[in-house]
Structure 1
């Protein structure tokens, strides 16, 4: 039976009869944060050795820059355990930073010169060199400053018991095909309605003046303070706008989500599609490599998407090959700003809401997405990230011309989420999910409750995004300087750091080909970074 023929209320009724199918939800969080000095400027120091190898550490790595840390929690089936793991990773990191702190905002701190942003280093192995070269390509393509924006990624999977209940009526699909189709349906609904996340949780309504040096791009902003803080009065998430972590070149790709084959074909085409703009950079110059290639995407990690279908890769396997081999295993939500009001960048309310929202996305009918609807959702997201708190903002969902105000759409979605929250609390006990719904639905009527509004109020009152960020960073440093580990131990962290350094040495010693051959084999399909 096609999932599009089954209504949300029918799916919810089945889950209400079998609430245990909602248990066993897998979650993982990836949080990015810049290392800064006590003065609030970008750290220029190398990745601290006490944190282990950024190439092989299980929980602590780096993203684009050497100063851009990324924390990764193990998969957990408990909200409190996931957040506790993240707290412990922060606690160990803060106690290892030797006076440095973590910038608590998505948009970067003051950066005087982009040349100060050092590319992340991963050692002398072929895989480590390729990771750095990929980042060098990003620097040439989009500028370094665009790559030190921080976000939070939320990884989520359903249990086998959920899928057993989900597919009990179908007869024509294999189990994994059905699961993959369901996840793609979830993704389509996320694109349709995911603008709710930047409205509620967007936390980048302002920028440091050092981020915008082009007067033409800055002309629509209001400014405050001597140092130059730029903001838009109704913006929610400039990080997700054209001012943030985006790639306008990718707008022509039209990667579809109707089925897994279509998605994989689109991603692979992007990695084979030449870019005239990036060809001007060249692959090599007199000093060596400039980028991996001149295609729209160097590798598939360069695809800037608010949500991705994922599967855990085997050694030497590309993400797209893993999806083709085994189907979709989980989804990665990538459109969360760092929450400045949480010392770990995300809080319990957000995780409970994310549970509800992605479950609602999979339970709700999800028609295939035509090109006109792709354009529609992009326009809706753009409206919300640039002016989501503007009174009476209207959005259009779908190609039939139906328009409602953002507030009306929000209440319509929350009506379903509230019904779902009752079933979730039936499965887990208590009323946490219902409590989250009761609270967050009011944010549509009172936009001053949103994270972006609260943060902008602080920035305007202090006339400086730098002062606000540095103050929060100092408070977080004081918080993590004390207190006990709750899930991990200090000894576990130190053991993992030492083990990761040894794993890196093992990788470096095991290389059997030179770098040129490694790259040739990788793009021939036999190796992966």
Structure 2
């Protein structure tokens, strides 16, 4: 009996359907700390010539005023996405003076919470809300965690695909229902197999001791040198217990089986009081400390490896948009910055991500209904981020124990038809080539980014800070040697000026006090 995956492959391998896979849509969000020449967190304001972070479409900040975020527009071709991302880096690097873009996910030298400036977005209600939300994150989790940088990969498949597969599979309901169901299946499989991405792309096995400067537990990390802590076989400290996790959220049971269940479970968390946050309070005098005292201030506070997304309309909450119109695209959030790549990601990395995501969507993906399976996926991910390079490491599949290497190679072999379809559709060999590169990493752990970084640290007897600072300087020199063309330069300059004017208009148009604005926000659907 053929599987759903085999039937879908047979359908999509027909030459007349190949063109569908030229319509994949990509977007990348890359975070990078601004640092001084001696690797300390920049204390300067966001450069004015880059425009206003609240209203600029492509250059903004994440948690800190020093944590830049570059956001590309959506492109069909991976290379177009990366070209635009490169232009953003080149344009920005030329207006940063002697500051650098930090090349690693784990932060540069931190000098205490007082020296981690929260991002500022002006005086409009929406801008103040963004800053108050970040203030809440500081009180809940500490500022150091918020300086960790990552790369988000946004991905969607063309609408024609939903119609074709829905018709073939005799699915009842509209294309949007099928589309949302497909993306949820992709997300469930992503959770089952995302340990593989951490082995292949994890790039944060070490961290500066300054990350723990204010008595934060260093967990089970070992000392590498006077500056650096590490785990011997780790792939990604960023995604471990010391990174984007917290005890409050461990109690959440977010369901990915239907859109309705997902929206309901997150909405419940936003409305559920949490005693530790109630102790903090919402305000101290006139100063807001957080947006509310519930498990989550807003949906974005939920730290997940992957998110279903829908672009919200003006004045509409993201969860409301998702509930009304279903899933539009997915956002992969577990990717470390590759410190050896100027953009934090290579073209071959991105080509493989397409293969992995299409495979995760096409593959049979039963609902995750048992606590045992949820525990298994969580434990496989934890093992890989903490000890993924350990020789002979065993993971737990639904059929029992299996070696990471053996399971990884089997998955890549199962993905090969997907890579071949994508190659045919795009008249290239880069998708199958990206698969081969990942097979090489599974056969030789020294080729993984985490192993390469550890090799440099140990071979050159350099600290984490010194190694990443050297790479940051190298990338800065790379951007300095490049130029954006004159037309693009003018475009970025005009966007900066437009963002300044748009923020001015936004601030002038507010009619409610922030108290009233927040009350209205909490009360809206």
**Normalising TM by the smaller chain, what interval?**
over 0.9
Q: Any conservation in 1 of the 2:171–2:178 contact (CA below 8 Å)?
A: no
The CA distance in 2 between the partners of 1:11 and 1:219, in whole Å, is 45
> Counterpart in 1 of 2:506?
507
Q: Any conservation in 1 of the 2:31–2:149 contact (CA below 8 Å)?
A: yes
Please show how residues 7-46 of structure 1 align to structure 2 within 5 Å. 7-17=4-14, 18-46=17-45
> Counterpart in 1 of 2:410?
412
The CA distance in 2 between the partners of 1:149 and 1:522, in whole Å, is 29
Q: Any conservation in 1 of the 2:111–2:213 contact (CA below 8 Å)?
A: no
> Counterpart in 1 of 2:309?
310
Please show how residues 86-235 of structure 1 align to structure 2 within 5 Å. 86-169=85-168, 170-213=170-213, 217-218=217-218, 220-226=220-226, 228-235=227-234
Structure 1 gap ranges (5+): none
1:424 to 395, 415, 422: 422
Query: Which stretch shifts more, 514-523 or 459-468?
Result: 459-468
Query: Which stretch shifts more, 349-358 or 243-252?
Result: 243-252
Q: Any conservation in 2 of the 1:88–1:486 contact (CA below 8 Å)?
A: no
Structure 2 gap ranges (5+): none
> Counterpart in 1 of 2:292?
293
> Counterpart in 1 of 2:372?
372
Structure 1 residues 486, 521: closer, same or farther in 2, change over 3 A? same
Deviation at 1:161, TM superposition (A): 2.1
Which secondary structure does the structure 2 equivalent of 1:467 belong to? helix
- Could you list the per-position Cα deviations for residues 253-299 of structure 1 after superposition, in whole angstroms to 9, with x for gaps in the alignment? 11111111110011101101111111111111236211111101000
Please show how residues 347-426 of structure 1 align to structure 2 within 5 Å. 347-370=346-369, 371-398=371-398, 401-426=399-424
Q: Any conservation in 2 of the 1:20–1:427 contact (CA below 8 Å)?
A: yes
Which secondary structure does the structure 2 equivalent of 1:70 belong to? strand
Q: Any conservation in 1 of the 2:112–2:213 contact (CA below 8 Å)?
A: no
Query: Which stretch shifts more, 425-434 or 481-490?
Result: 481-490
Q: Any conservation in 1 of the 2:102–2:468 contact (CA below 8 Å)?
A: yes
Q: Any conservation in 2 of the 1:224–1:463 contact (CA below 8 Å)?
A: no
> Counterpart in 1 of 2:76?
77
Which secondary structure does the structure 1 equivalent of 2:154 belong to? strand
Q: TM-score, normalised by structure 2?
A: 0.97
Deviation at 1:199, TM superposition (A): 0.6
Q: Any conservation in 2 of the 1:104–1:473 contact (CA below 8 Å)?
A: yes
Q: TM-score, normalised by structure 1?
A: 0.96
